[in-house]
Chain A
Protein backbone atom coordinates (compact mmCIF):
# COMPACT_ATOMS: atom_id res chain seq x y z
CA UNK A 1 0.00 0.00 0.00
CA UNK A 2 1.33 3.40 -0.82
CA UNK A 3 0.16 6.76 0.24
CA UNK A 4 -1.96 7.36 -2.84
CA UNK A 5 -5.70 7.79 -2.84
CA UNK A 6 -7.72 4.61 -2.96
CA UNK A 7 -10.75 4.28 -5.20
CA UNK A 8 -13.85 5.81 -3.62
CA UNK A 9 -16.14 3.58 -1.62
CA UNK A 10 -19.25 2.95 -3.68
CA UNK A 11 -21.61 1.05 -1.42
CA UNK A 12 -25.05 2.53 -0.99
CA UNK A 13 -26.03 4.52 2.05
CA UNK A 14 -26.54 2.65 5.28
CA UNK A 15 -29.96 1.09 5.61
CA UNK A 16 -31.20 0.91 9.15
CA UNK A 17 -33.23 -2.06 10.26
CA UNK A 18 -36.70 -1.62 11.65
CA UNK A 19 -36.83 -1.90 15.38
CA UNK A 20 -37.57 -5.56 16.12
CA UNK A 21 -40.69 -6.52 18.03
CA UNK A 22 -38.84 -7.31 21.24
CA UNK A 23 -36.54 -4.31 21.01
CA UNK A 24 -32.86 -3.82 20.40
CA UNK A 25 -31.70 -5.24 23.71
CA UNK A 26 -32.74 -8.75 22.74
CA UNK A 27 -31.40 -8.33 19.19
CA UNK A 28 -28.05 -7.00 20.35
CA UNK A 29 -27.76 -9.63 23.10
CA UNK A 30 -28.26 -12.37 20.53
CA UNK A 31 -25.60 -10.82 18.27
CA UNK A 32 -23.13 -10.76 21.16
CA UNK A 33 -24.04 -14.25 22.39
CA UNK A 34 -23.65 -15.63 18.86
CA UNK A 35 -20.22 -14.06 18.47
CA UNK A 36 -19.12 -15.20 21.93
CA UNK A 37 -20.11 -18.80 21.25
CA UNK A 38 -18.56 -18.71 17.79
CA UNK A 39 -15.33 -17.36 19.28
CA UNK A 40 -15.19 -20.03 21.99
CA UNK A 41 -15.25 -22.77 19.35
CA UNK A 42 -12.26 -21.14 17.67
CA UNK A 43 -10.09 -22.08 20.64
CA UNK A 44 -10.51 -25.87 20.71
CA UNK A 45 -7.66 -26.24 23.22
CA UNK A 46 -9.37 -24.01 25.74
CA UNK A 47 -12.67 -25.79 25.19
CA UNK A 48 -10.95 -29.15 25.62
CA UNK A 49 -9.44 -28.20 28.97
CA UNK A 50 -12.68 -26.64 30.09
CA UNK A 51 -14.35 -29.99 29.43
CA UNK A 52 -11.59 -32.19 30.78
CA UNK A 53 -11.28 -30.41 34.12
CA UNK A 54 -14.59 -31.58 35.62
CA UNK A 55 -13.97 -35.04 34.19
CA UNK A 56 -10.72 -35.20 36.14
CA UNK A 57 -12.60 -34.10 39.25
CA UNK A 58 -15.06 -36.96 38.80
CA UNK A 59 -12.28 -39.52 38.49
CA UNK A 60 -10.32 -38.06 41.41
CA UNK A 61 -13.22 -37.92 43.80
CA UNK A 62 -14.78 -41.18 42.71
CA UNK A 63 -11.63 -43.21 43.08
CA UNK A 64 -9.69 -41.34 45.76
CA UNK A 65 -12.46 -40.36 48.18
CA UNK A 66 -14.99 -42.99 47.24
CA UNK A 67 -15.14 -45.35 50.19
CA UNK A 68 -13.37 -42.92 52.50
CA UNK A 69 -16.48 -40.79 52.90
CA UNK A 70 -19.35 -42.70 54.46
CA UNK A 71 -22.78 -42.11 52.98
CA UNK A 72 -25.77 -43.14 55.07
CA UNK A 73 -27.27 -46.29 53.59
CA UNK A 74 -24.26 -48.53 53.16
CA UNK A 75 -21.69 -50.23 55.30
CA UNK A 76 -18.58 -47.94 55.36
CA UNK A 77 -15.61 -49.19 53.34
CA UNK A 78 -17.57 -51.66 51.25
CA UNK A 79 -17.95 -51.74 47.47
CA UNK A 80 -21.61 -50.76 47.87
CA UNK A 81 -20.48 -47.70 49.82
CA UNK A 82 -18.03 -46.63 47.09
CA UNK A 83 -20.70 -47.00 44.43
CA UNK A 84 -23.15 -45.05 46.58
CA UNK A 85 -20.58 -42.29 46.96
CA UNK A 86 -20.32 -41.94 43.18
CA UNK A 87 -24.08 -41.54 43.02
CA UNK A 88 -23.80 -38.98 45.78
CA UNK A 89 -20.78 -37.29 44.20
CA UNK A 90 -22.02 -36.58 40.67
CA UNK A 91 -24.56 -33.85 41.56
CA UNK A 92 -21.80 -32.28 43.67
CA UNK A 93 -19.53 -32.19 40.65
CA UNK A 94 -22.36 -30.75 38.55
CA UNK A 95 -22.85 -28.00 41.12
CA UNK A 96 -19.15 -27.26 41.38
CA UNK A 97 -18.78 -27.17 37.60
CA UNK A 98 -21.59 -24.71 36.99
CA UNK A 99 -20.24 -22.53 39.81
CA UNK A 100 -16.94 -22.35 37.94
CA UNK A 101 -18.77 -20.95 34.90
CA UNK A 102 -18.46 -17.59 36.66
CA UNK A 103 -14.70 -17.58 36.18
CA UNK A 104 -14.99 -17.74 32.39
CA UNK A 105 -17.21 -14.70 32.49
CA UNK A 106 -14.79 -12.81 34.75
CA UNK A 107 -11.81 -13.49 32.53
CA UNK A 108 -13.73 -12.89 29.30
CA UNK A 109 -14.97 -9.47 30.34
CA UNK A 110 -11.68 -8.37 31.86
CA UNK A 111 -10.04 -9.28 28.56
CA UNK A 112 -12.64 -7.49 26.48
CA UNK A 113 -12.11 -4.46 28.68
CA UNK A 114 -8.35 -4.55 28.44
CA UNK A 115 -8.41 -5.02 24.68
CA UNK A 116 -10.69 -2.03 24.18
CA UNK A 117 -13.57 -4.10 22.83
CA UNK A 118 -15.90 -2.80 25.53
CA UNK A 119 -14.93 0.73 24.54
CA UNK A 120 -15.89 -0.07 21.00
CA UNK A 121 -19.25 -1.55 22.05
CA UNK A 122 -19.95 1.47 24.18
CA UNK A 123 -19.33 3.83 21.27
CA UNK A 124 -21.86 1.91 19.16
CA UNK A 125 -25.55 2.81 19.13
CA UNK A 126 -26.33 -0.60 20.63
CA UNK A 127 -28.17 -1.48 23.82
CA UNK A 128 -25.97 -0.74 26.78
CA UNK A 129 -26.79 -3.93 28.63
CA UNK A 130 -26.67 -6.27 25.63
CA UNK A 131 -22.95 -6.92 25.78
CA UNK A 132 -23.36 -8.33 29.29
CA UNK A 133 -26.62 -10.17 28.70
CA UNK A 134 -25.17 -11.75 25.56
CA UNK A 135 -21.92 -12.67 27.25
CA UNK A 136 -23.49 -14.21 30.35
CA UNK A 137 -26.05 -16.04 28.26
CA UNK A 138 -23.36 -17.50 25.99
CA UNK A 139 -21.38 -18.63 29.02
CA UNK A 140 -24.39 -20.34 30.53
CA UNK A 141 -25.22 -22.01 27.20
CA UNK A 142 -21.67 -23.35 27.00
CA UNK A 143 -22.44 -25.21 30.22
CA UNK A 144 -24.87 -27.42 28.28
CA UNK A 145 -21.89 -28.91 26.51
CA UNK A 146 -19.94 -29.23 29.75
CA UNK A 147 -22.88 -30.90 31.54
CA UNK A 148 -23.32 -33.32 28.65
CA UNK A 149 -19.70 -34.46 28.77
CA UNK A 150 -19.90 -34.66 32.54
CA UNK A 151 -23.09 -36.72 32.50
CA UNK A 152 -21.51 -39.22 30.11
CA UNK A 153 -18.45 -39.50 32.36
CA UNK A 154 -20.73 -39.98 35.34
CA UNK A 155 -22.60 -42.73 33.56
CA UNK A 156 -19.33 -44.54 32.88
CA UNK A 157 -18.34 -44.48 36.57
CA UNK A 158 -21.75 -45.77 37.61
CA UNK A 159 -23.91 -42.68 38.16
CA UNK A 160 -27.57 -43.11 37.19
CA UNK A 161 -30.66 -40.96 36.73
CA UNK A 162 -33.19 -42.69 38.98
CA UNK A 163 -36.21 -40.38 39.25
CA UNK A 164 -37.51 -40.07 35.73
CA UNK A 165 -36.59 -37.95 32.72
CA UNK A 166 -38.80 -34.99 33.59
CA UNK A 167 -37.17 -34.55 36.99
CA UNK A 168 -33.77 -34.88 35.35
CA UNK A 169 -34.69 -32.08 32.93
CA UNK A 170 -35.66 -29.92 35.92
CA UNK A 171 -32.32 -30.74 37.52
CA UNK A 172 -30.40 -29.66 34.41
CA UNK A 173 -32.48 -26.49 34.11
CA UNK A 174 -31.76 -25.66 37.74
CA UNK A 175 -28.05 -26.16 37.09
CA UNK A 176 -28.24 -23.84 34.07
CA UNK A 177 -30.10 -21.20 36.06
CA UNK A 178 -27.37 -21.38 38.66
CA UNK A 179 -24.69 -21.12 35.96
CA UNK A 180 -26.41 -18.06 34.52
CA UNK A 181 -26.61 -16.48 37.98
CA UNK A 182 -22.95 -16.92 38.83
CA UNK A 183 -21.86 -15.61 35.42
CA UNK A 184 -23.46 -12.28 36.42
CA UNK A 185 -21.42 -12.26 39.61
CA UNK A 186 -18.39 -13.21 37.51
CA UNK A 187 -19.16 -10.43 35.04
CA UNK A 188 -19.32 -7.89 37.84
CA UNK A 189 -15.94 -9.05 39.16
CA UNK A 190 -14.46 -9.03 35.64
CA UNK A 191 -15.50 -5.42 35.14
CA UNK A 192 -14.19 -4.43 38.58
CA UNK A 193 -10.68 -5.88 38.54
CA UNK A 194 -7.84 -3.77 37.14
CA UNK A 195 -6.45 -6.29 34.63
CA UNK A 196 -6.73 -9.80 33.22
CA UNK A 197 -4.01 -11.16 35.49
CA UNK A 198 -6.08 -10.22 38.52
CA UNK A 199 -9.18 -11.56 36.81
CA UNK A 200 -7.59 -15.00 36.59
CA UNK A 201 -7.34 -15.30 40.36
CA UNK A 202 -10.20 -13.06 41.46
CA UNK A 203 -12.50 -15.04 39.20
CA UNK A 204 -11.77 -18.26 41.09
CA UNK A 205 -10.95 -17.25 44.63
CA UNK A 206 -14.54 -16.95 45.89
CA UNK A 207 -15.74 -20.10 44.14
CA UNK A 208 -13.41 -22.48 45.95
CA UNK A 209 -14.65 -21.85 49.51
CA UNK A 210 -18.19 -21.67 48.21
CA UNK A 211 -18.03 -25.11 46.60
CA UNK A 212 -16.03 -26.82 49.34
CA UNK A 213 -18.06 -25.34 52.21
CA UNK A 214 -21.10 -27.16 50.91
CA UNK A 215 -22.54 -30.64 50.70
CA UNK A 216 -21.04 -31.08 47.21
CA UNK A 217 -18.49 -33.68 48.27
CA UNK A 218 -19.21 -34.54 51.91
CA UNK A 219 -22.35 -34.66 54.05
CA UNK A 220 -22.72 -31.55 56.22
CA UNK A 221 -22.77 -33.52 59.49
CA UNK A 222 -19.00 -33.52 59.81
CA UNK A 223 -18.69 -29.72 59.76
CA UNK A 224 -18.21 -27.69 62.98
CA UNK A 225 -21.14 -25.50 64.11
CA UNK A 226 -20.81 -22.16 62.36
CA UNK A 227 -19.42 -23.67 59.16
CA UNK A 228 -22.34 -26.03 59.12
CA UNK A 229 -24.77 -23.13 59.23
CA UNK A 230 -22.89 -21.35 56.46
CA UNK A 231 -22.86 -24.51 54.36
CA UNK A 232 -26.55 -25.11 54.98
CA UNK A 233 -27.47 -21.69 53.61
CA UNK A 234 -24.86 -21.82 50.87
CA UNK A 235 -26.91 -21.92 47.65
CA UNK A 236 -24.52 -24.49 46.23
CA UNK A 237 -25.68 -26.88 48.98
CA UNK A 238 -29.31 -26.33 48.12
CA UNK A 239 -28.56 -26.65 44.40
CA UNK A 240 -26.69 -29.89 44.92
CA UNK A 241 -29.32 -31.30 47.26
CA UNK A 242 -32.08 -30.32 44.82
CA UNK A 243 -30.33 -32.02 41.92
CA UNK A 244 -29.67 -35.12 44.06
CA UNK A 245 -33.37 -35.34 44.76
CA UNK A 246 -34.35 -34.65 41.15
CA UNK A 247 -31.88 -37.21 39.78
CA UNK A 248 -32.95 -39.70 42.46
CA UNK A 249 -29.42 -39.94 43.87
CA UNK A 250 -28.54 -40.44 47.56
CA UNK A 251 -28.99 -37.15 49.42
CA UNK A 252 -26.84 -37.95 52.43
CA UNK A 253 -29.95 -37.94 54.63
CA UNK A 254 -32.12 -40.90 55.59
CA UNK A 255 -35.35 -40.84 53.53
CA UNK A 256 -37.87 -38.30 54.82
CA UNK A 257 -35.44 -36.91 57.42
CA UNK A 258 -35.52 -33.29 58.54
CA UNK A 259 -32.33 -31.43 57.67
CA UNK A 260 -32.85 -28.82 60.33
CA UNK A 261 -32.56 -25.92 57.86
CA UNK A 262 -35.30 -24.29 55.81
CA UNK A 263 -32.94 -23.88 52.86
CA UNK A 264 -32.30 -27.62 52.74
CA UNK A 265 -35.86 -28.67 53.45
CA UNK A 266 -36.94 -26.65 50.39
CA UNK A 267 -33.84 -26.88 48.23
CA UNK A 268 -35.46 -26.14 44.83
CA UNK A 269 -37.34 -23.11 46.09
CA UNK A 270 -34.33 -21.82 48.02
CA UNK A 271 -32.07 -22.21 44.98
CA UNK A 272 -34.46 -20.40 42.67
CA UNK A 273 -34.94 -17.65 45.25
CA UNK A 274 -31.24 -17.06 45.82
CA UNK A 275 -30.59 -17.09 42.07
CA UNK A 276 -33.33 -14.52 41.54
CA UNK A 277 -31.99 -12.29 44.31
CA UNK A 278 -28.39 -12.60 43.10
CA UNK A 279 -29.34 -11.68 39.52
CA UNK A 280 -31.44 -8.79 40.78
CA UNK A 281 -28.40 -7.48 42.65
CA UNK A 282 -25.49 -8.30 40.36
CA UNK A 283 -27.02 -7.67 36.93
CA UNK A 284 -27.72 -3.97 37.60
CA UNK A 285 -24.38 -3.59 39.37
CA UNK A 286 -22.54 -5.12 36.43
CA UNK A 287 -24.44 -2.98 33.90
CA UNK A 288 -23.62 0.10 35.93
CA UNK A 289 -19.95 -0.84 36.00
CA UNK A 290 -20.08 -1.44 32.27
CA UNK A 291 -21.57 1.95 31.52
CA UNK A 292 -18.79 3.62 33.44
CA UNK A 293 -16.13 1.25 32.26
CA UNK A 294 -12.98 2.52 30.77
CA UNK A 295 -10.12 0.71 29.20
CA UNK A 296 -7.29 0.39 31.67
Chain B
Protein backbone atom coordinates (compact mmCIF):
# COMPACT_ATOMS: atom_id res chain seq x y z
CA UNK B 1 0.00 0.00 0.00
CA UNK B 2 1.42 3.32 -1.11
CA UNK B 3 0.75 5.10 2.14
CA UNK B 4 2.69 2.68 4.33
CA UNK B 5 6.02 3.65 2.82
CA UNK B 6 7.94 6.66 4.04
CA UNK B 7 8.09 7.88 0.48
CA UNK B 8 6.05 6.62 -2.40
CA UNK B 9 6.11 8.34 -5.76
CA UNK B 10 4.58 7.16 -8.98
CA UNK B 11 5.06 8.41 -12.50
CA UNK B 12 6.53 11.78 -11.58
CA UNK B 13 6.92 14.07 -14.54
CA UNK B 14 8.25 17.59 -14.29
CA UNK B 15 8.77 19.87 -17.23
CA UNK B 16 10.45 23.27 -17.17
CA UNK B 17 9.49 24.82 -20.47
CA UNK B 18 11.07 22.53 -23.04
CA UNK B 19 13.14 20.59 -20.58
CA UNK B 20 11.76 17.37 -19.21
CA UNK B 21 13.55 17.17 -15.87
CA UNK B 22 11.56 14.15 -14.67
CA UNK B 23 10.19 11.67 -17.12
CA UNK B 24 8.00 9.18 -15.29
CA UNK B 25 10.02 8.55 -12.16
CA UNK B 26 8.89 5.93 -9.63
CA UNK B 27 10.43 5.85 -6.20
CA UNK B 28 9.77 3.94 -2.98
CA UNK B 29 11.56 4.49 0.28
CA UNK B 30 10.46 1.92 2.90
CA UNK B 31 10.33 3.12 6.51
CA UNK B 32 13.60 3.05 8.41
CA UNK B 33 15.69 2.59 5.29
CA UNK B 34 18.26 4.70 3.54
CA UNK B 35 17.72 5.00 -0.17
CA UNK B 36 20.42 6.62 -2.25
CA UNK B 37 19.30 8.53 -5.31
CA UNK B 38 22.24 8.48 -7.62
CA UNK B 39 22.74 10.32 -10.85
CA UNK B 40 24.80 12.93 -12.65
CA UNK B 41 24.06 16.64 -12.44
CA UNK B 42 20.86 17.42 -14.28
CA UNK B 43 19.53 13.89 -14.00
CA UNK B 44 16.57 14.98 -11.84
CA UNK B 45 17.76 14.17 -8.31
CA UNK B 46 17.19 17.61 -6.88
CA UNK B 47 13.92 18.04 -8.74
CA UNK B 48 12.68 14.79 -7.18
CA UNK B 49 13.63 15.91 -3.68
CA UNK B 50 12.05 19.32 -4.23
CA UNK B 51 8.78 17.72 -5.28
CA UNK B 52 8.79 15.40 -2.26
CA UNK B 53 9.63 18.30 0.07
CA UNK B 54 6.58 20.26 -1.27
CA UNK B 55 8.79 22.94 -2.85
CA UNK B 56 7.79 22.11 -6.39
CA UNK B 57 4.64 20.73 -7.98
CA UNK B 58 5.01 17.79 -10.31
CA UNK B 59 3.56 18.25 -13.78
CA UNK B 60 2.20 14.70 -13.62
CA UNK B 61 2.21 11.83 -11.15
CA UNK B 62 1.51 11.42 -7.44
CA UNK B 63 3.72 11.36 -4.38
CA UNK B 64 3.09 10.52 -0.74
CA UNK B 65 5.46 11.30 2.09
CA UNK B 66 4.72 9.73 5.47
CA UNK B 67 1.39 8.77 3.93
CA UNK B 68 0.45 12.35 3.08
CA UNK B 69 -0.14 13.69 -0.40
CA UNK B 70 2.62 16.22 -1.13
CA UNK B 71 0.21 18.57 -2.86
CA UNK B 72 -3.06 18.23 -0.95
CA UNK B 73 -1.53 17.68 2.49
CA UNK B 74 1.61 19.78 2.13
CA UNK B 75 1.48 21.03 5.71
CA UNK B 76 1.41 17.50 7.18
CA UNK B 77 4.27 16.55 4.88
CA UNK B 78 6.27 19.56 6.11
CA UNK B 79 5.69 18.45 9.70
CA UNK B 80 7.09 15.00 8.88
CA UNK B 81 10.27 15.94 7.06
CA UNK B 82 13.64 17.53 7.53
CA UNK B 83 15.37 18.93 4.47
CA UNK B 84 19.04 19.64 4.07
CA UNK B 85 20.06 20.99 0.71
CA UNK B 86 23.34 21.38 -1.09
CA UNK B 87 23.76 24.86 0.31
CA UNK B 88 24.01 25.15 4.06
CA UNK B 89 20.83 27.18 4.38
CA UNK B 90 21.33 28.86 7.71
CA UNK B 91 21.24 32.56 8.50
CA UNK B 92 24.93 33.34 8.56
CA UNK B 93 24.55 36.44 10.69
CA UNK B 94 22.76 34.58 13.45
CA UNK B 95 24.62 32.34 15.86
CA UNK B 96 24.23 28.58 15.81
CA UNK B 97 21.93 28.71 18.82
CA UNK B 98 19.82 31.53 17.33
CA UNK B 99 19.42 29.62 14.09
CA UNK B 100 18.15 26.56 15.92
CA UNK B 101 15.77 28.69 17.95
CA UNK B 102 14.41 30.39 14.86
CA UNK B 103 13.76 27.11 13.05
CA UNK B 104 12.29 25.54 16.20
CA UNK B 105 9.91 28.51 16.54
CA UNK B 106 8.91 28.21 12.90
CA UNK B 107 8.06 24.53 13.47
CA UNK B 108 5.72 25.87 16.19
CA UNK B 109 7.40 23.95 18.99
CA UNK B 110 7.22 25.07 22.61
CA UNK B 111 10.14 27.29 23.72
CA UNK B 112 11.09 24.79 26.43
CA UNK B 113 11.36 21.95 23.97
CA UNK B 114 13.30 24.06 21.47
CA UNK B 115 15.82 24.98 24.19
CA UNK B 116 16.30 21.37 25.30
CA UNK B 117 16.54 20.04 21.77
CA UNK B 118 18.93 22.80 20.64
CA UNK B 119 21.37 22.09 23.46
CA UNK B 120 21.30 18.40 22.65
CA UNK B 121 21.83 18.94 18.93
CA UNK B 122 24.66 21.43 19.50
CA UNK B 123 26.38 18.86 21.65
CA UNK B 124 25.71 16.05 19.23
CA UNK B 125 27.05 18.00 16.29
CA UNK B 126 30.08 19.19 18.21
CA UNK B 127 29.02 22.83 17.97
CA UNK B 128 28.79 23.77 21.66
CA UNK B 129 31.86 25.98 21.62
CA UNK B 130 30.73 27.73 18.44
CA UNK B 131 27.08 27.99 19.52
CA UNK B 132 27.21 31.71 20.27
CA UNK B 133 29.25 32.73 17.26
CA UNK B 134 27.58 33.90 14.03
CA UNK B 135 27.41 31.04 11.52
CA UNK B 136 29.43 33.25 9.17
CA UNK B 137 32.54 32.35 11.17
CA UNK B 138 31.96 28.59 10.82
CA UNK B 139 33.94 26.29 8.58
CA UNK B 140 32.15 24.56 5.70
CA UNK B 141 31.79 21.36 7.71
CA UNK B 142 30.44 23.18 10.76
CA UNK B 143 27.89 25.06 8.67
CA UNK B 144 26.71 21.82 7.12
CA UNK B 145 26.37 20.30 10.58
CA UNK B 146 24.37 23.30 11.77
CA UNK B 147 22.21 23.01 8.68
CA UNK B 148 21.54 19.34 9.41
CA UNK B 149 20.92 20.12 13.09
CA UNK B 150 18.35 22.73 12.03
CA UNK B 151 16.44 20.17 10.02
CA UNK B 152 16.43 17.79 12.99
CA UNK B 153 14.97 20.25 15.49
CA UNK B 154 11.47 18.80 15.24
CA UNK B 155 12.64 15.16 15.21
CA UNK B 156 11.42 14.44 11.69
CA UNK B 157 10.88 10.79 10.90
CA UNK B 158 11.95 11.34 7.30
CA UNK B 159 15.05 13.18 6.26
CA UNK B 160 15.83 14.41 2.76
CA UNK B 161 19.52 14.97 2.25
CA UNK B 162 20.26 16.60 -1.06
CA UNK B 163 23.96 16.14 -1.75
CA UNK B 164 24.79 16.65 1.92
CA UNK B 165 28.56 16.36 1.53
CA UNK B 166 29.12 18.16 -1.77
CA UNK B 167 32.09 20.47 -1.38
CA UNK B 168 33.19 19.13 2.00
CA UNK B 169 36.72 18.01 2.79
CA UNK B 170 37.17 14.26 3.39
CA UNK B 171 37.33 14.60 7.17
CA UNK B 172 34.07 16.58 7.38
CA UNK B 173 32.47 14.16 4.97
CA UNK B 174 33.40 11.24 7.19
CA UNK B 175 32.01 13.10 10.20
CA UNK B 176 28.71 13.75 8.47
CA UNK B 177 28.46 10.12 7.39
CA UNK B 178 28.82 9.15 11.05
CA UNK B 179 25.97 11.46 11.98
CA UNK B 180 23.74 10.08 9.24
CA UNK B 181 24.49 6.50 10.30
CA UNK B 182 23.59 7.36 13.88
CA UNK B 183 20.27 8.89 12.81
CA UNK B 184 19.44 5.83 10.74
CA UNK B 185 20.26 3.52 13.64
CA UNK B 186 17.59 5.41 15.58
CA UNK B 187 14.99 4.68 12.95
CA UNK B 188 15.07 7.79 10.77
CA UNK B 189 14.22 7.19 7.13
CA UNK B 190 16.65 8.88 4.78
CA UNK B 191 16.43 9.75 1.13
CA UNK B 192 19.91 10.74 0.09
CA UNK B 193 20.92 12.20 -3.24
CA UNK B 194 24.54 12.14 -4.14
CA UNK B 195 27.00 12.25 -6.96
CA UNK B 196 29.49 10.35 -4.87
CA UNK B 197 29.13 6.69 -5.56
CA UNK B 198 31.24 5.90 -2.54
CA UNK B 199 28.75 7.76 -0.40
CA UNK B 200 25.76 5.83 -1.70
CA UNK B 201 27.71 2.60 -1.35
CA UNK B 202 28.53 3.37 2.28
CA UNK B 203 25.21 4.75 3.52
CA UNK B 204 22.38 3.36 1.46
CA UNK B 205 20.59 0.02 1.77
CA UNK B 206 19.10 0.53 -1.58
CA UNK B 207 20.32 2.52 -4.55
CA UNK B 208 18.20 4.03 -7.27
CA UNK B 209 20.17 5.16 -10.29
CA UNK B 210 18.50 7.86 -12.35
CA UNK B 211 19.41 9.52 -15.58
CA UNK B 212 17.41 11.93 -17.73
CA UNK B 213 14.63 11.90 -15.17
CA UNK B 214 14.07 8.14 -15.23
CA UNK B 215 15.10 5.25 -13.04
CA UNK B 216 17.63 3.22 -14.98
CA UNK B 217 18.66 0.75 -12.29
CA UNK B 218 17.63 -0.16 -8.79
CA UNK B 219 19.01 -2.48 -6.13
CA UNK B 220 21.66 -2.89 -3.45
CA UNK B 221 25.19 -1.80 -4.23
CA UNK B 222 26.24 -5.45 -4.49
CA UNK B 223 23.42 -6.31 -6.84
CA UNK B 224 24.24 -3.37 -9.09
CA UNK B 225 27.88 -4.36 -9.19
CA UNK B 226 26.99 -7.95 -10.06
CA UNK B 227 24.78 -6.65 -12.81
CA UNK B 228 27.75 -5.45 -14.78
CA UNK B 229 29.73 -8.64 -14.26
CA UNK B 230 32.66 -9.72 -12.14
CA UNK B 231 36.10 -8.20 -11.77
CA UNK B 232 37.52 -5.44 -13.81
CA UNK B 233 40.99 -5.04 -15.19
CA UNK B 234 42.44 -1.56 -15.09
CA UNK B 235 45.54 -0.69 -17.05
CA UNK B 236 47.30 2.66 -17.01
CA UNK B 237 49.80 3.14 -19.80
CA UNK B 238 52.90 5.32 -19.64
CA UNK B 239 52.21 7.19 -22.84
CA UNK B 240 48.56 8.22 -23.41
CA UNK B 241 49.22 8.23 -27.17
CA UNK B 242 49.55 4.45 -27.04
CA UNK B 243 45.98 4.02 -25.76
CA UNK B 244 44.59 2.87 -29.14
CA UNK B 245 47.35 0.27 -29.42
CA UNK B 246 46.75 -0.86 -25.86
CA UNK B 247 43.03 -1.16 -26.57
CA UNK B 248 43.81 -3.36 -29.52
CA UNK B 249 46.24 -5.49 -27.51
CA UNK B 250 43.78 -5.92 -24.63
CA UNK B 251 40.73 -6.65 -26.79
CA UNK B 252 41.08 -10.45 -26.51
CA UNK B 253 41.42 -10.17 -22.69
CA UNK B 254 38.30 -8.13 -22.04
CA UNK B 255 35.00 -9.94 -21.90
CA UNK B 256 33.03 -6.84 -22.83
CA UNK B 257 33.23 -3.17 -23.69
CA UNK B 258 36.23 -1.29 -22.31
CA UNK B 259 36.23 2.27 -21.07
CA UNK B 260 38.99 4.80 -21.56
CA UNK B 261 39.73 7.76 -19.31
CA UNK B 262 42.90 9.73 -20.11
CA UNK B 263 45.66 7.12 -19.93
CA UNK B 264 43.62 4.35 -18.30
CA UNK B 265 41.69 1.52 -19.89
CA UNK B 266 39.35 -0.63 -17.87
CA UNK B 267 37.13 -3.48 -18.85
CA UNK B 268 35.32 -6.52 -17.51
CA UNK B 269 37.31 -9.72 -17.27
CA UNK B 270 36.74 -13.25 -16.09
CA UNK B 271 39.21 -16.01 -15.31
CA UNK B 272 40.91 -14.97 -12.11
CA UNK B 273 44.53 -13.96 -11.71
CA UNK B 274 45.91 -15.61 -14.84
CA UNK B 275 44.19 -12.84 -16.73
CA UNK B 276 46.78 -10.41 -15.35
CA UNK B 277 49.57 -12.46 -16.86
CA UNK B 278 47.78 -12.64 -20.21
CA UNK B 279 47.26 -8.88 -20.23
CA UNK B 280 50.86 -8.08 -19.37
CA UNK B 281 52.13 -10.52 -21.99
CA UNK B 282 49.89 -9.06 -24.66
CA UNK B 283 50.87 -5.44 -23.88
CA UNK B 284 54.53 -6.39 -23.71
CA UNK B 285 54.49 -8.00 -27.14
CA UNK B 286 53.08 -4.70 -28.51
CA UNK B 287 55.88 -2.82 -26.70
CA UNK B 288 53.52 -0.78 -24.55
CA UNK B 289 54.93 0.53 -21.27
CA UNK B 290 52.59 -0.12 -18.32
CA UNK B 291 52.42 2.49 -15.53
CA UNK B 292 49.94 0.52 -13.44
CA UNK B 293 47.84 -2.60 -13.77
CA UNK B 294 45.24 -3.90 -11.34
CA UNK B 295 42.37 -6.30 -10.99
CA UNK B 296 39.53 -4.98 -8.86
CA UNK B 297 35.91 -5.37 -7.89
CA UNK B 298 33.68 -2.97 -9.85
CA UNK B 299 32.84 0.33 -8.14
CA UNK B 300 29.57 2.09 -8.54
CA UNK B 301 31.39 4.34 -10.99
CA UNK B 302 31.72 1.36 -13.28
CA UNK B 303 28.05 0.62 -12.78
CA UNK B 304 27.24 4.12 -13.75
CA UNK B 305 29.42 4.07 -16.81
CA UNK B 306 28.02 0.76 -17.90
CA UNK B 307 24.43 1.88 -17.40
CA UNK B 308 24.53 5.37 -18.81
CA UNK B 309 27.51 5.45 -21.09
CA UNK B 310 28.88 8.47 -19.24
CA UNK B 311 30.49 9.06 -15.88
CA UNK B 312 28.67 10.15 -12.74
CA UNK B 313 30.26 13.58 -12.65
CA UNK B 314 30.20 14.07 -16.37
CA UNK B 315 27.81 16.98 -16.49
CA UNK B 316 28.43 18.98 -19.63
CA UNK B 317 26.96 16.62 -22.15
CA UNK B 318 23.82 15.76 -20.24
CA UNK B 319 21.42 18.52 -21.32
CA UNK B 320 22.18 18.32 -25.04
CA UNK B 321 21.93 14.59 -24.92
CA UNK B 322 18.54 14.56 -23.23
CA UNK B 323 17.20 16.99 -25.78
CA UNK B 324 18.32 14.77 -28.63
CA UNK B 325 16.79 11.75 -27.02
CA UNK B 326 13.50 13.39 -26.35
CA UNK B 327 13.16 14.33 -29.97
CA UNK B 328 13.20 10.71 -30.93
CA UNK B 329 10.87 9.49 -28.26
The smallest beta-carbon distance between A191 and chain B, in angstroms, is: 14
Q: Is the CB of A1 within 8 A of B178?
A: yes
Chain B residues with Cβ under 8 A from A39's Cβ?
91, 93-94
Q: Is the CB of A13 within 8 A of B155?
A: yes
- B-facing mask of A9-31, CB < 8 A → 1, else 0? 11111111100000010011001
* CB within 8 Å: A-B pair count: 130
Q: How far is the CA of A17 from the CA of B117 in the complex (A)?
A: 15
Q: Is the CB of A6 within 8 A of B179?
A: yes
Query: A156: CB under 8 A from chain B?
Result: no
Chain A residues with Cβ under 8 A from B106's Cβ?
28, 31-32, 121, 124, 126
Q: A2-B178, A14-B107, A24-B108 are in contact. Are A120 and B150 (CB under 8 A)?
A: yes
Chain B residues with Cβ under 8 A from A166's Cβ?
none
The smallest beta-carbon distance between B70 and chain A, in angstroms, is: 11
Chain A residues with Cβ under 8 A from B105's Cβ?
27-28, 31
The smallest beta-carbon distance between B262 and chain A, in angstroms, is: 31
Q: Is the CB of A1 within 8 A of B174?
A: yes
Contact of A294 among B56, B103, B154, B174 (CB under 8 A): B56
Of chain A, the residue at the smallest CB distance from B155 is: A14
Chain A residues with Cβ under 8 A from B88's Cβ?
116
Q: Is the CB of B55 within 8 A of A123?
A: yes
Q: How far is the CA of A120 from the CA of B186 in the complex (A)?
A: 24
Q: How far is the CA of A11 from the CA of B154 in the complex (A)?
A: 11
Q: How far is the CA of A3 from the CA of B117 in the complex (A)?
A: 23
B interface residues with partner A (beta carbon < 8 Å): 50, 53-56, 75, 78-79, 81, 83, 85-94, 98, 102-103, 105-110, 112-113, 116-117, 120-121, 124, 126, 134, 150-152, 154-155, 171, 174-175, 177-179, 181-182, 185-186
Q: Count of A residues near B, CB < 8 Å?
A: 41
Q: Offer 17 A-B interface pairs, CB within 8 angstroms, sorted by A.
A: A2-B174, A2-B175, A3-B181, A4-B178, A11-B155, A15-B110, A31-B105, A32-B102, A35-B94, A35-B98, A42-B134, A117-B89, A117-B90, A119-B50, A124-B103, A125-B75, A126-B108
Of chain B, the residue at the smallest CB distance from A122 is: B55
Q: Is the CB of B112 within 8 A of A15?
A: yes
Q: How far is the CA of A132 from the CA of B201 in the complex (A)?
A: 41
Q: How far is the CA of A13 from the CA of B108 in the complex (A)?
A: 13
Query: A205: CB under 8 A from chain B?
Result: no
Chain A residues with Cβ under 8 A from B78's Cβ?
123-125
